[in-house]
Amino acid sequence: MPAPARPFHLYNTLARRKEELKPLAPPEVTIYSCGPTVYRYAHVGNLRTYLFADLLCRTLEYLGYRTRQVMNITDVGHLTEDDVDRGEDKMLVSARLEQKRPEEIAAHYTAAFRDDIARVNIRPAAAFPHATEYIPRMLEIIERLVERGHAYAVENGNVYYRISSFPAYGKLSRNSLDRLLTGSRGEPDPRKENPGDFTLWKHAGDRRLQAWDSRWGRGFPGWHIECSAMSTALLGERFDIHTGGADNVFPHHEAEIAQSEGAFGHRVVGYWMHGDHLLLAGTRMAKSAGNFFRITELADQGHDPLAFRYLALQARYRTKLNFSPEALTGADRALRQLRERVAEWSASEAPAAGAPEAAARFAERFTTAIADDLDLPSAMALVSELLRSDLPAAERARLLLDFDRVLGLDLGREAGQTLPPGAAELLQRRERARAERDFAASDRLRDELAAAGVVVTDTPEGQRWRVTAPGPD
């Protein structure tokens, strides 16, 4: 029988305090993570939020849980209330500017997203549902909300959530009702019962490219309903953890609670976790403001993409983190040195009688740090302490490789080796397959990697890889 999972404490935005995780069906933990909108490239700020969710999954697995993570791909709209009122849809604006169909835009940016997360060792979720494939499910939930008095249609075919029907509206963001009401700028639809009522379904004009038939006529979904539909379709009407960025708390997650609980009549999400923002020169990195970097740009400047991951590990996920090229250069150097040490120490003889107790204490402290709401800065301080410790070299290397199951810094990578295109994603899929004990998939992925010139070996610390064939460059 496997050892029971270790306790994990997490800060629950809804409870406003740290709580011990009590999964619904241990050792499995079900996780829904708000994912990308695929009408533009992700920037490293977005990646910080996905990285936090990845660190959560890796930590839980390190502690002995199994994770099932779902991350949505928003390939329709991403309509905030403002956009709805202005009748502008970013997906369609991109389609117009790039002279492509919305599906082509979405496919292009979805593929770019998958490549980008692989570059920073964010393992793919078990499922990446596309919003456009869940329209019937969204309509089903909207109909339920109408039946239960939580939503109403107006004469042109728009359907709104009636926030006055859900007394707990505002409990996540602690927004007072009058602030909730002023949440939407622009000219509100005068047919709304209440200016704070948010859009569930929006009537489509004649020229709209993405629209679906419904009992209220042709239209398309609001952004928030997408996540209620996909989370409950894939994880059930109750699941453990929901993650997102700090800006998702209101209105997105506040609305999701009102929708999901309104439709199903009970609590759906056990714990809400939010990662804070990445800043550039003191302001939030944002697509719209144009102050952002893509991970590929940083790589083109000569940085190891994982240096960004190293940098992100220096701050707790709930604090803001300032990004700067200088800090990234420092992270690059530190990461390279760390890998060199591991390579050197791995080659040394394993001690006959090592220092098992001292090593166990390090492992214990590492576990304690990450189990405390993902305290990765403390875990990284421990890595530094381990580097300077007098543990036998082979023991230090072994511990670092073990910690790397969570850190994901490729500490076992041989110097100078780079993966051929696509191999990083295959490695991550294989790692996940192994974590899920899907050995058939893991073997198949090993063959695919071998065909791409990457030999994988499994060690107690996880898979290690070596490039055998020279890459295309």
Binding interface with ligand AMP (CB under 6 A): 34, 36-37, 45-46, 48-49, 244-245, 247-248, 277-278, 284-287
Residue with tokens 């050197």: 344
Taking the least distance from each CB to ligand AMP, the nearer of 5 and 298 is 298
Taking the least distance from each CB to ligand AMP, the nearer of 51 and 371 is 51
241 pairs with which residues across the strands? 31, 271
Residue nearest to ligand AMP (CB): 245
Task: Classify strands 17-20 and 28-33 as parallel, antiparallel or unpaired.
Answer: unpaired
Q: Which does 372 bind (CB under 5 to 8 A by kind): ligand AMP, Zn ion, none?
A: none
Nearest distance in Å: CB 420, ligand AMP: 29
Residue 415 in 3-state DSSP? coil
The phi, psi pair for 338, rounded to 5°, reads: -60, -45
Taking the least distance from each CB to Zn ion, the nearer of 166 and 272 is 272
Q: What is the helix (H) or strand (E) element at residue 34, kind and residue range? A: none
Tally of CA atoms within 13 A in the half-sphere of 418 that contains its CB: 12
**Cis peptide leading into 136, omega within 30 of 0?**
no
227 contacts Zn ion (rule: CB under 5 A) = yes
Nearest distance in Å: CB 428, Zn ion: 23
Taking the least distance from each CB to ligand AMP, the nearer of 48 and 58 is 48
> Which stretch in 30-38, 156-164, 166-174, 428-436 sits in contact with Zn ion by CB under 5 A?
30-38
**Backbone angle region of 148, left / alpha / beta, with phi > 0 → left and psi within -120 to 50 → alpha:** alpha
Q: Which does 227 bind (CB under 5 to 8 A by kind): Zn ion, ligand AMP, none?
A: Zn ion
Nearest distance in Å: CB 113, Zn ion: 15
Nearest distance in Å: CB 274, ligand AMP: 8
Nearest distance in Å: CB 54, Zn ion: 17
Nearest distance in Å: CB 71, ligand AMP: 10
Taking the least distance from each CB to ligand AMP, the nearer of 5 and 249 is 249
235 contacts Zn ion (rule: CB under 5 A) = no
Taking the least distance from each CB to ligand AMP, the nearer of 238 and 284 is 284
CA distances from 268 to 247, 264, 406 (A): 21, 8, 28
Q: Under a CB-based contact definition with an 8 Å cutoff, are residues 11 and 373 in contact?
A: yes
34 contacts Zn ion (rule: CB under 5 A) = yes
Taking the least distance from each CB to ligand AMP, the nearer of 38 and 427 is 38
Number of residues that bind Zn ion (CB under 5 A): 2
Residue with tokens 């200088």: 326
Structure tokens at 60: 């839980």
Instruction: Report the Cα 390 to chain-centroid distance in Å.
Output: 37
d(CA 425, CA 226): 26
268 contacts Zn ion (rule: CB under 5 A) = no
Closest by CA position to 324, among listed 275, 264, 265, 281 = 281
Nearest distance in Å: CB 464, ligand AMP: 31
Task: Classify strands 9-12 and 17-20 as parallel, antiparallel or unpaired.
Answer: antiparallel
- State the residues that interact with Zn ion by CB under 5 A: 34, 227
